[in-house]
Amino acid sequence: MRRTRPRNRFWLVVAALVIVPPLGLFMLWKSPWSRLAKVVVSALCVLLIAGAVVGAARIHNRWSGKKIPECGYDLTMDSRNRYRTPDILPLEREVFNAVVREMRRPQIISPINAYSAEGPNLSQPQTRAFAIVAERHNLDPDVVAAIYRKVSSHLAPRGR
C-alpha cells in the first residue's frame, strides 16, 4: 500500500492555502492536482491577497481625499443639531481612546488634591481623564469633553 506524502493531501493543501497562502501555493503546485485547478486556485488566492492589501490601504488612507480641519477636530453643528463632519476624525478617535484609557486607569486621589480650590474637582474619573488628556494633547478640557461626547454619540447604538 502506497502512502501519500503530506504535501499531496487535499485538506492539508486547502488548510495551508487558508492559513499561510504562500506555503499553500507552493504545496498546491507540488500536488498532483490538474493544471487547470492549480491555475484557478492560484488566481483566487492572488485576488484574495490583493483585495486584502487594497482594503487595508483604503482603510489606512480613508482621510486622504477629504479635507481635515487644521486643528484636527470639527465640533460645529448644523441647523438640525447634527455635526457637520459626520465621520470621526483621526484626532477625535485618538482623544476619545485616551479618555477611555484614563477613565479605566485606577487612580488614588488624596483628600488634599480632591478638594483643591485651584481647579475643578478631579475626583470624578471623567473630569480627571478630560484634564489629563487635554494637557497631553494641548487642548482645552471643554474641547476634550465635546470630542468625547461627539464620538460617544457616534458609537452609541441608536434606538428606533
Secondary structure (DSSP) of the chain? -PPPPGGG-HHHHHHHHHH-HHHHHHHHHHSS--HHHHHHHHHHHHHHHHHHHHHHHHHHTTTSSSPPPTTS----B-TTS-BSS-SPPHHHHHHHHHHHHHHHS-----HHHHT-SSS--TTSHHHHHHHHHHHHHT--HHHHHHHHHHHHHHHSPPP-
Mean pLDDT of 108-117: 50
**Model confidence pLDDT, tens digit, residues 32-73:** 889 999 999 999 988 888 888 877 766 655 555 566 676 777
Same domain as 152, residue 103: yes
Q: The domain containing residue 70 runs over which residues?
A: 65-160
Mean pLDDT of 135-154: 87
Global pTM reads 0.50
Same domain as 70, residue 14: no
Same domain as 73, residue 52: no
Identify whether 1 is part of a domain. no
What is the chain's mean pLDDT, rounded? 77
Same domain as 85, residue 156: yes
